[in-house]
A and B are shown apart, each in its own frame.
Chain A
């Protein structure tokens, strides 16, 4: 009898462990993940992976995670911090997940998240929009007199407020200190006022290259990997690395997961240096581990040396900002409130 119950438990565990729902962002990013992470994981462990797509928001996590049986979630670090505080993510035992915690520095191992890659929010422009002088700095993004045309911006207070202060000449090291004051927020929104009538909002990370390609915007904010993929697909867009905002993408495990062991196994596999390097060879998001950097080689198929396209490649210049995830997480409500008020004010002004 005991034997049968043990067998039953074993079977139940393996049965559940055979399938893992990994939630990610779709597009070029997910395609790269499928080749670099998901398929090798299934091959190595026999655990099947089904993917789900979400918009990265906390609302989606709250509404869909349990209903759709989410197990592992690919998240922006600030969202992961907020979700962790809200009890939506499982706490991680980092000692069991990685043998070399210092290898992740300067990324941080937070209670519910394990860093996986480094991406940058950059600005890109359609070259045919500016046949003469080209934009080179983040200040040019806000200068519609010299560089006319629509600006495609993510409809969110993330990143654009930082850019507004960088454009005012604030050095990156002081951006968050200044944005923490009411005066700094006012200053940022005043900068946004300068381009208020020229904004095209986007919400899907795949949109910015499309908006540029279709000529609906002359400049756009977006993620460096997406712009790179569009360039490879033949879109003639140019990326400006000045003022890039570097953020960390993390893995989290949903609190309600029914396959915690498989999920942890996946995290261990996904954050191995060779897995990270494989992803970076397919999409130019930097690895979160130092030891993965020297393993990155040429992109399969095209032979492009991918290290040159990572957000932290030295030739991109010294003006960049590293996103303060904790600050982002703790000020999300305030910034959203101010951002919504600013949006509404525009409509009132009509």
Chain B
């Protein structure tokens, strides 16, 4: 095997390797760009050498195995820790009922435990986490889409700890978001190693995510698809194989080694009437509306919490207190609510009124818990809200007595998935989760109908998912695709040139014109004595004129590309938005080069085999 040349990808003469040496000329420029493009590429100035294909394959598989096992064990550990806390703190009904005779003990725990958990979470944000907020799928998506590192390890561990406390102390939040982050965090550690495999950091993170979901739901296919649908957002052979290995590793550990029971077995004998598929579609549409309401409320309460005068430290505690008081008369709102999840599939377990109250309470309290700073996901609350709403829908249909149905279970499951899919933005994953959880084909077909309609409506009127909308609010818009988002995230300052003809307006005109004539430039860039930009002075002109185009330091490559249409001239001046000082200029060519560079990076990533 030929040793790769240090500093640049190996040239594979057989042509099978796409990491071939770039055409000369672009290299220096690109390397310079990479050095300065702090938003896009945080790689060290020196490119790591790319390992030979066989070695890359080995590294990828080993990483997948190790990350898969680690993420799976971590997910199992988190579940067990939460369940242990739930039992010990009298959150789980099975623990509560055994202290029923103790009189005041259970009500006291109901109110005090979530509030205490809130206080602990508040303290974790203040004293342990440097990010001071829960980390979750949006952070993972952002890191993978922009090839950045995840937030620091300390914040990640703090976030996981806070999630464990939140869930363990009964907050109305989900466990899968934290699990996904935990898996991603473990995968993210690979970034620190220089293993010579392109795209490895993103793939490693996706491996962790796939293993976490595969373990959590006992669903390896869903884990694999989730990692692609939500995190990677492209299907390349290079990423597909390791994530599959990771997902299966997680599944084997959970299912074979630890013998975790299947999460949600449902008996269902098939859809009895053809017209019910119309009802499933209708249920999907209604779920889309409810999901949008749920997501809007989460965002709204988060905004309100940020504006409130309540100290940040006490916010989770306030939410915990509200939850605990509600739970005194509505204990189903505590925690993940896996009992309610099951009851919803049993006919007559809930009255229509109870279902409506519980759906409303769960939506409000989940939004409150998340908005006020508890750490946890929206996945499992969405499952619960959806299944209850599905049961409510069935109860309404059934009470009209117009048409016989196939029973509550299928409507409950349809509702569950139709509500969850728009929230996490993963229709394929949710369909597969139904399939793998229930192992029931008829149920999957029914859920599929509800899921697509729900997803369609919510995507059109809200956005791809809650994660994407949360990211967009932080300034990272992925709605128009990865390439666009990367161009948008790349500031024009990464393409700057400083060797243009720069002049002050005190300099004699003749001198400037002489300097221009001696250079390849056709324009000089004129500033005042303080360096503030005044205008451009074309060759042969007498006074500086305003430029036909001007960028600020905040201008992105995307904006630059769009405004370049019809531009004629050497280069575009880039001016500091606040001070008005000239920072440098960018040439049309360097903008296009940056664009091509990003396209090429993505194209390589999406078509990579090894």
Contact with A along B320-351 (1 / 0, CB 8 A): 00000000000100000011001101101110
Contacts of A171 in B (CB 8 A): 261, 265
A177 and B338 contacting across the interface, CB-CB below 8 Å:
yes
* Chain A residue at minimum C-beta to C-beta distance from B343: A183
Evaluate whether A176 and B101 lie within 8 angstroms (CB atoms) in the complex, with A183-B349, A184-B339, A187-B349 already known.
Answer: no
B94 and A169 contacting across the interface, CB-CB below 8 Å:
no
How far is it, in angstroms, between the C-alpha of A190 and the C-alpha of B347 when the chains are bound?
11
B98 and A327 contacting across the interface, CB-CB below 8 Å:
yes
Whether A58 sits at the interface, judged by CB under 8 Å, is no
B residues 70-119 near A (Cβ < 8 Å) are: 92-101
A residues 152-201 near B (Cβ < 8 Å) are: 168-171, 173-174, 176-181, 183-184, 187, 190
Chain A interface helix/strand/loop/mixed: helix
Whether A313 sits at the interface, judged by CB under 8 Å, is no
Whether B548 sits at the interface, judged by CB under 8 Å, is no
* Chain A residue at minimum C-beta to C-beta distance from B354: A183
Q: Which of A170, A330, A331 contacts B342 (CB 8 A)?
A: A170
B346 and A170 contacting across the interface, CB-CB below 8 Å:
yes
* Chain B residue at minimum C-beta to C-beta distance from A326: B98
How far is it, in angstroms, between the C-alpha of A170 and the C-alpha of B266 when the chains are bound?
8
Of B92, B265, B331, B345, chain A has the most CB atoms within 10 Å of the CB of B265
Of B93, B338, B348, chain A has the most CB atoms within 10 Å of the CB of B93
Whether B303 sits at the interface, judged by CB under 8 Å, is no
Whether A349 sits at the interface, judged by CB under 8 Å, is no
Question: Measuring CB to CB, which residues of chain B are less than 8 angstroms from any residue of chain A?
Answer: 92-101, 261, 265-267, 331, 338-339, 342-343, 345-346, 348-350
Evaluate whether A169 and B261 lie within 8 angstroms (CB atoms) in the complex, with A176-B94, A180-B97 already known.
Answer: no
Whether A333 sits at the interface, judged by CB under 8 Å, is yes
How far is it, in angstroms, between the C-alpha of A174 and the C-alpha of B345 when the chains are bound?
13
B100 and A334 contacting across the interface, CB-CB below 8 Å:
yes
Evaluate whether A334 and B97 lie within 8 angstroms (CB atoms) in the complex, with A177-B92, A178-B339, A181-B339 already known.
Answer: yes
B346 and A334 contacting across the interface, CB-CB below 8 Å:
no
How far is it, in angstroms, between the C-alpha of A190 and the C-alpha of B97 when the chains are bound?
20
How far is it, in angstroms, between the C-alpha of A169 and the C-alpha of B268 when the chains are bound?
10
Evaluate whether A181 and B98 lie within 8 angstroms (CB atoms) in the complex, with A169-B267, A171-B265 already known.
Answer: no
6 shortest A-B CB distances, which residue pairs?
A: A330-B98, A180-B93, A180-B97, A180-B94, A181-B93, A173-B261
How far is it, in angstroms, between the C-alpha of A43 and the C-alpha of B96 when the chains are bound?
49
Contacts of A170 in B (CB 8 A): 342, 346
Evaluate whether A178 and B342 lie within 8 angstroms (CB atoms) in the complex, with A187-B349, A190-B348, A334-B101 already known.
Answer: yes
Evaluate whether A169 and B96 lie within 8 angstroms (CB atoms) in the complex, with A177-B339, A333-B101 already known.
Answer: no
Contacts of A177 in B (CB 8 A): 92-94, 338-339, 342
Contacts of A173 in B (CB 8 A): 261
How far is it, in angstroms, between the C-alpha of A208 and the C-alpha of B261 when the chains are bound?
34
Distance in Å: Cβ of A51 to nearest Cβ of chain B: 34
Evaluate whether A181 and B100 lie within 8 angstroms (CB atoms) in the complex, with A176-B94, A187-B346, A187-B349 already known.
Answer: no
How far is it, in angstroms, between the C-alpha of A326 and the C-alpha of B97 when the chains are bound?
12
A331 and B339 contacting across the interface, CB-CB below 8 Å:
no
Contacts of B100 in A (CB 8 A): 331, 334
A residues 214-234 near B (Cβ < 8 Å) are: none
Contacts of A174 in B (CB 8 A): 338-339, 342
